[in-house]
Amino acid sequence: MKILILGGGGMIGQKLITYLAKNPVLNGKNINEVRLVDAFIEPKVPSGAPFPIHSQIADITDRESCDALVKEEPEIIFHLAAIVSGEAESDFEKGYRVNLDGTRNLFEAIRATANYCPRVVYTSTAAVYGGPYPEDSDDDFILQPTTSYGTQKAIGELLLNDYSRRGILDGIGLRLPTICVRPGKPNAAASGVFSNIIREPLVGIETTLAVSKDVSMVFASPRSAIGFLIHAVQLDTSLLGSRRSMMMPGVHATIGDEINALRRVAGDKVVSYIKEAPIDAFAQQMVDAWNFPAFPATRARSLGFTCEKSFDELIHLHIESELDGKIPGQSA
């Protein structure tokens, strides 16, 4: 089995290839080869994989690059490549070029390949929705995105539906919650604040909070994100009907809830590294555009997708996976 991972240099792409290197059988088939692709950096390759991993820089906004990648006819394509929310909002043309035109280039490259219909796992976002939300919002709530990023992803979902309907590809779209706690350094995603106020304080670094504590979001861990992707590959897509995308399960919490969870897990000293600042108008506008309700993700849960049960659990998972199970400066 050949696998193509687009956006392979990002956090989720790197977590995914690490998982596959340790679990080389998927859907009962041995993985024979993985191609790891990113537009900006040559993705890191984990050691010890029992199959070859090819890492390269390639840009899906270039149709010829997509043709070359699809020419190898990977059985599974993980389409993780995207310009993140804050950058898509601040750079209108770049956001549409990557998030929309790049996706269309990929799908068209698949269409141009005779007798070929890969499983395409497309990472979408809860930002395809838009408020105000009724309390019982779920998958069937109307898509009315209030950001460019959400709009681009919603169009991508419609393309995924249509190309799947026509038998060009076998697609499934995963509307991801905010992945938290994200390892590494802050990025241009407006949702980065939700991880920043946990990740930096845990290692004794001050971080600024410049949005309201009342903002709410739906969260899942990096571990759950990989679980969603793997389950999407294994799922019988005939169960999806004509609706190929769905909201993934998550933990609903406000920023205030996050801080309270951090205090329970790590104590007051760690929380003291969060420094409140005057509201940043742009960041507040972005998070206000989401301010999600507690999506029950009924459809995804009925199909076997699972996640954590509390924000405390998300913090504990980060400590275990990224801090060797111990908060710096605290006894075990």
**Set 122, 129, 149, 163: catalytic member:** 149
Q: How many CA atoms lie within 13 A of 76 on its CB side?
A: 26
Dist. CA 304–CA 141, nearest whole Å: 21
Q: CB atoms < 10 A from the CB of 50, how many? A: 11
Tell which residue, 4, 167, 25, has the closest CA to residue 73. 4
Interaxial angle between packed helices 63-70 and 103-111, expressed in degrees from 0 to 180 and rounded to the nearest 10: 50
Q: CB atoms < 10 A from the CB of 36, how many? A: 26
Which contacts (CB < 8 Å, 24+ apart) does range 184-192 have?
Answer: 184/11, 187/84, 188/84, 188/86, 188/87, 188/90, 189/84, 189/85, 189/86, 189/87, 190/84, 190/85, 190/86, 190/89, 190/283, 190/286, 190/287, 191/85, 191/217, 191/287, 191/290, 192/86
- Are 6 and 83 in contact by the 8 Å Cβ rule? The answer is no
Q: Pairing between strand 119-125 and 25-26?
A: unpaired
- Are 172 and 245 in contact by the 8 Å Cβ rule? The answer is yes
Phi, psi of 311 (to 5 degrees): -70, -30
Look up 122 and say whether it is catalytic. Answer: no
Distance of CA 51 to the CA centre of its chain: 25
- Are 1 and 29 in contact by the 8 Å Cβ rule? The answer is yes
Tell which residue, 229, 188, 213, has the closest CA to residue 277. 213
Strand order in the sheet with 251-254: 178-179, 216-220, 251-254
Among all residues, which ones are annotated catalytic? 149
